[in-house]
Amino acid sequence: DATQIRVYLNNNAIIDLAVDGEGRWRGDLPNVDEGIYTLRVDEMDAEGTITSRVETPFKRESAENLAAATRSGDGPVSVVTVQKGDTLWAISRERYGDGLLYVRVFEANSDDIRDPDLIYPGQVFDLPK
Q: Are residues 70 and 117 in the same domain?
A: yes
**Would you state the pLDDT for residue 115?**
93
Interval 61-98: pLDDT, tens:
777 777 776 666 666 558 888 888 899 999 999 889 99
Interval 41-58: pLDDT, tens:
999 999 999 999 999 888
Specify the pTM.
0.60
Q: Are residues 33 and 75 in the same domain?
A: no
Beta bridge partners of residue 119, listed in sequence order: none
**Would you state the pLDDT for residue 23?**
87
Q: Are residues 44 and 98 in the same domain?
A: no
Residue 1 pLDDT class (50, 70, 90 cuts): confident
Segments forming the whole domain that contains residue 84? 63-126
- Are the CB atoms for 14 and 30 separated by under 8 Å? yes
Number of domains in the chain: 2
At residue 106, the 3 state secondary structure works out as: helix
Percent pLDDT > 70 in the chain is 92
- What CATH number should be reported for the domain holding residue 74? 3.10.350.10
Q: Are residues 88 and 50 in the same domain?
A: no
Q: Are residues 56 and 67 in the same domain?
A: no
**Would you state the pLDDT for residue 76?**
59
Of the three residues 60, 75, 107, the one that is the final residue of a domain is: 60
Of the three residues 60, 90, 107, the one that is the final residue of a domain is: 60
Query: E strand or H helix at 69, and its extent?
Result: helix 63-70
Interval 4-14: pLDDT, tens:
999 999 999 99
State the average pLDDT for the chain: 88
**pLDDT top residue among 88 and 2:** 88
Beta strands in 1-129 (DSSP E): 4-9, 12-18, 35-44, 50-60, 79-81, 124-126
CA distance 121 to 86: 8
